[in-house]
């Protein structure tokens, strides 16, 4: 099976002035739709602290830092291409 890199983004939200929260979002099947994976349980006083903590959370999704966060595609590399019989 082939694994593809997951499209995960980190951003910082400020729902209340001066309180910053990191948020991890993952691209859905439609590239225009994103779903929230995880967010900071508590706010930070500084935007940069929230961003760094979010980046640390994102890194935890990568079991191997050389290849990043991966997800099984479900494709069978040994399967015949669509429309062609197995030989």
Say how far apart CA 3 and CA 69 lie, in whole Å.
10
Residues 59-73: tens digit of each pLDDT = 999 989 899 999 865
**Residues 12 and 21 sit within 8 Å (Cβ to Cβ):** yes
Residues 7-55: tens digit of each pLDDT = 999 999 999 999 999 999 999 988 889 999 999 999 999 999 999 999 9
Nearest alpha-carbon partner for 51 in 59, 62, 75: 59
Domain boundaries, the chain: 3-72
Q: Tokens standing for 3?
A: 């694994």
Say how far apart CA 77 and CA 79 lie, in whole Å.
6
Note if the pTM is more than 0.95: no
């Amino acid at each position: 099976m082939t694994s593809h890199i997951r499209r995960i983004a980190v951003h910082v939200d400020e729902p209340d002035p001066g309180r910053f929260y990191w948020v991890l979002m993952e691209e859905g099947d439609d590239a225009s739709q994103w779903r929230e994976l995880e967010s900071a349980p508590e706010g930070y006083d500084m935007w940069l602290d929230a961003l760094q903590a979010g980046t640390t959370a994102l890194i935890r999704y990568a079991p191997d830092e050389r290849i990043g966060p991966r997800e099984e595609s479900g494709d069978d590399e040994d399967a015949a291409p669509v429309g062609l019989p197995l030989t």
